[in-house]
Chains A and B, each alone.
Chain A
């Protein structure tokens, strides 16, 4: 089922009367059966957005549609959603079996079918052998599976996950990430996945939304967002190691690096801009390459297949990740280049990208 947010806004007013705009005019459409990652730094309004979709918070403005139904004013219990909380919120006094059964007890389901569904769901998430245990007797990863099973067992129209992996250790996180993706594919349920971890969002999402201070920054497929960020915030938020960003002038359409002309961008007016280049988008220039810049190597690190070079551009420390074979250990300088479309020119004030669509 398609999920649509229209101008969704949430303003919290605290006791002293000051307003916090947690979500600001958010409009996105989530296609049926897709998994959308809601990504942003802590406090940017991810949980608030999710709780508004769930109905636990009332939007200050805007509308929420499930398919054609306007559910903005609908009580949470009538929305048919499954929600996995950040710390799972499993009922501590109930066994795994009873936890998963709980949502069905409130529905009009025959007992046999309910038991059947609990068993199936437990098997799907891989906890079929632990039904008699209490949540406290489970590891974090197992608790998380129970929480997903409890959310899915009532066959919700939408599945919402609030930073479900943030309490797990690194290895388990990787494993559960794939697990969630598999369960989502198998059930084909429209899913919103909240996370502050860009790598997690990139690896799990069909599409992702980046929020900052409650404002939507970009909404697109992960790789597309990575390659064509809409603004400096998105460019900086995605990628590890982070993107290099530094000031540079554009003169006669050419970007000036260390007083040399680098690349020609006809569409960019003369002026001062922020340039962004991801470390891995640099490469050592071929002999006949015309857009290249010679830099002095300050430091050089070998990291397996790649080599990390540190150097300066316009007085800023820059990192480049290049093929190990292309630089020698004793090289004092190197000629670097990058693909035209991988050099981003951002407006200095608004942070908007200038040289893409």
Chain B
């Protein structure tokens, strides 16, 4: 038995040695070839580095990314501008009845399900989205900061806890949404059972607007915790221990260590997370579909849980003239995100320590 293990070990070692040698030789061959090609190019005066000016070289190096971005990002953006200017666009024969600058924007803004709700309903795409952004982003950032600090503090089972908190990140959003919906089910749902709430309706027929919103925010917050915790935990672990030792010697209370040392030292990461999660929260879609279906409306409800992105999708589905409305909606979303990001960058100048 022991000799068998020994044999396996030694053959394993031989294998790794030969693999390493193989890669070593590959690299040597590659370098030799590279040298040869370089010499050849130099001789023919074709060397990229000397023949082209800096900007041309930059363009050549960037071209793969630029081509992909052009096809899938820049062209659609230009197209939305174009669509937004059309009036009475007919997709099947590609005709329009005229041009407009603000017409489609006005249609969107006057839409009862976009900005201001009609008197007999609750919730609009913009309001819902803003509520989700302004609650779930700060709550999830604070929560993940505290959880990361706590995780960093424990020694036993550290890896285990880190895995637990990271699970939502690798799990399908829709699947989690179904689980959450099941947890908040009126009849026999975990939450109602646990808190003894009887047949309290959270997301089903009869649920009020704020109950649905609570569940949605809970889900949106929890679902984004994993990534934030991972980023914060990694940055906290990168902080020099000596700062904490110095703070301990100076009798610094825990909350001041948190607010005056940990947070400022990882502030670039907090800022990064803030900007990306604000953008991410503005684009919320999956979670709403998972909880309330593509209509974004619990059965029989007189309100909508729709987000801006859902609103836009709904009009893309319509085709034709609706596309102009969808385009106007996307540009409004783009404008809001742009302004908010600029505000955040301005505000960060004082608070973020690089």
Residues in A lying within 8 Å of B, measured CB to CB: 54-56, 75-79, 81-83, 85, 87, 89, 91-94, 102-103, 105-107, 150, 154
**Distance of A56 Cα from B245 Cα, bound (Å):** 7
Measured CB to CB, the closest approach of chain A to B258, in angstroms, equals 14
With both chains docked as a complex, state the minimum distance between the C-beta of B316 and any C-beta of chain A, in angstroms.
46
Instruction: Tell me if B243 is interfacial: C-beta within 8 Å of chain A.
Output: yes
Q: Mark contacts of B237-274 with chain A using CB atoms, 8 A cut-off: 1 yes-contact digit, 0 otherwise.
A: 00010110111111111001000110011010000000
Question: Are B243 and A106 touching (Cβ within 8 A)?
Answer: no
What residues on B are CB-neighbors of A102 within 8 Å?
Answer: 247, 250, 252, 260
- Quick check: A76 and B248 within 8 Å, CB to CB? yes
Q: Which residue from chain A places its CB closest to the CB of B264 in the assembled complex?
A: A93
* Nearest 10 pairs of A and B residues by beta carbon: A77-B251, A93-B353, A89-B242, A103-B250, A93-B264, A89-B246, A106-B251, A76-B248, A76-B249, A83-B249
- How many angstroms from the CA of A272 to the CA of B242 in the assembled complex? 50
CA distance A150 to B250 in the complex (A): 9
CB–CB B243/A81 < 8 A: no
Q: Establish whether residues A83 and B251, one from each chain, have CB atoms under 8 Å apart when the complex forms.
A: no
Query: How many angstroms between the C-alpha atoms of A82 and B249 in the bound complex?
Result: 7
Let me know if A54 and B249 touch, CB within 8 A. Answer: yes
**Among B253, B265, B353, contact of A106 (Cβ-Cβ < 8 Å):** B253
Complex contact A154–B250 (CB within 8 A): yes
A-B Cβ contacts below 8 A, count: 58
In the complex, residue of chain B having the shortest beta-carbon distance to the beta carbon of A85? B242
Q: Indicate with 1 or 0, residue by residue over B323-354, a CB within 8 angstroms of chain A CB atoms.
A: 00000000000000000000000000000010
What are 18 A-B contacts defined by CB distance under 8 Å? Answer: A54-B245, A56-B245, A75-B248, A77-B250, A77-B251, A77-B252, A85-B245, A89-B242, A89-B245, A91-B246, A91-B260, A91-B264, A93-B265, A102-B247, A102-B250, A102-B260, A106-B253, A154-B250
**Cβ contact within 8 Å between A77 and B248:** yes
Question: Quick one: given A89-B240, A92-B353, are A106 and B252 in contact (CB under 8 Å)?
Answer: yes
Q: Nearest chain-B residue to A75 (Cβ)?
A: B248
Docked Cα-Cα span, A152 to B338, in Å, equals 49
- Contact of A91 with B261 in the complex, beta carbons under 8 Å: yes
CB-nearest residue of chain A to B250: A103
Complex: how many Å from CA A78 to CA B250?
9
Contact residues in A for B242 (Cβ distance below 8 Å): 85, 87, 89
Contacts of B246 in A (CB 8 A): 83, 85, 89, 91, 150
Q: Which residue of B lies closest to A88 (CB)?
A: B242
Interchain CA distance A107-B267 in the complex, whole Å: 26
Looking across the interface, which residue of chain A has its beta carbon closest to that of B353?
A: A93
- Would you call B265 and A92 a contact (CB within 8 A)? yes
What's the least CB distance linking B259 to chain A, in Å? 12
Known pairs A77-B252, A85-B245, A102-B260 / 19 extra A-B pairs, C-beta < 8 Å? A56-B245, A56-B248, A75-B248, A76-B245, A77-B249, A77-B251, A79-B249, A83-B245, A85-B246, A87-B242, A91-B264, A92-B353, A93-B267, A93-B353, A94-B264, A102-B247, A105-B256, A106-B252, A154-B250
Closest to A104 in B: B250
The interface residues of chain A lying within 8 Å CB-to-CB of B353 are 92-93
Cα(A99)–Cα(B246), bound, Å:
11
CB A337 to nearest CB in B, in angstroms, measures 52
Closest A-chain residue to B246, C-beta based? Answer: A89
In the assembled complex, the Cα of A54 lies from the Cα of B250 at a distance in Å of 11
Chain A residues near B264 (CB, 8 Å)?
91, 93-94
| B146 CB → nearest A CB, Å | 20
- Contact A56-B253, Cβ < 8 Å, known A91-B261, A93-B264: no
Bound together, the chains give a CA A93 to CA B264 distance in angstroms of 7
Complex CA–CA separation, A107 to B250 (angstroms)? 9
Distance in angstroms between the alpha carbons of A43 and B248 in the assembled complex:
24
Give every chain B residue within 8 A of A54 (Cβ-Cβ). 245, 249
Query: B residues within 8 A CB of A107?
Result: 251
Please name all residues of chain B whose beta carbon is closer than 8 Å to the beta carbon of A56 when the two chains form the complex: 245, 248-249
Chain B nearest Cβ from A201, distance in angstroms: 23
Smallest CB gap from A106: residue in B: B251
- Could you say which residues of chain A place their CB within 8 Å of the CB of B240? 89
Chain B 140-175 residues near chain A, CB threshold 8 A: none
Q: Separation in Å of the A50 CB from the closest CB of chain B?
A: 11
Tell me which of B243, B245, B250, B353 has the highest count of chain A C-beta atoms within 10 A of its own C-beta: B250
- B-chain residues with CB within 8 Å of residue A92 when the two chains form the complex: 265, 353
Q: Of B243, B245, B251, B253, which contacts A91 at CB under 8 A? A: B243
Q: How many whole Å from A338's CB to the nearest CB in chain B?
A: 47
Q: Which residues of chain A are within 8 angstroms of B251 by Cβ–Cβ distance? A: 77-78, 103, 106-107
Kindly provide the distance from the CB of B243 to the nearest chain A CB, expressed in whole angstroms.
6
- A91: B residues at CB distance < 8 A: 243, 246, 260-261, 264
B249, B253, B353 pick with most chain A CB within 10 angstroms: B249
Q: Which residue of B has the minimal Cβ distance to A147?
A: B246
Taking CB atoms, residues of chain B closer than 8 Å to A106 are 250-253, 256
Shortest CB–CB separation between residue A60 and chain B, in angstroms? Answer: 19
Residues of A within 8 A of B265 (CB): 92-93
For A103, list chain B residues within 8 Å (CB).
Answer: 250-251
Q: Chain A residues with Cβ under 8 A from B247's Cβ?
A: 102
Chain A residues with CB under 8 A of B252? 77, 102, 106
Query: In chain B, what residue has the closest Cβ to A156?
Result: B249
Instruction: Indicate if the CB atoms of A81 and B249 lie closer than 8 Å.
Output: yes
Q: How far is the CB of A93 from chain B (nearest CB, A)?
A: 4
| A residues near B248, Cβ cutoff 8 Å | 56, 75-77
Which of B243, B253, B267 is the one whose CB lies under 8 Å from A89?
Answer: B243
When distances are taken between beta carbons in the complex, the residues of chain B under 8 Å from A150 are 246
CA distance A15 to B246 in the complex (A): 27
Q: Max chain A CB contacts within 10 Å: which of B245, B253, B261, B267?
A: B245
A102 to nearest B CB, angstroms?
6
The distance in angstroms between the C-alpha atoms of A284 and B76, with both chains bound, is: 95
Q: Using Cβ atoms and an 8 Å threshold, which residues of chain B touch A89? A: 240, 242-243, 245-246
Task: Give the chain B neighbours of A87 by CB distance below 8 A.
Answer: 242
Q: Closest Cβ of chain B: how far from A315's Cβ, in Å? A: 47
Q: How far is the CB of A90 from chain B (nearest CB, A)?
A: 8
With a cutoff of 8 Å between Cβ atoms, the chain B residues found around residue A75 in the complex are 248
154-208 of chain B: CB within 8 A of chain A: none
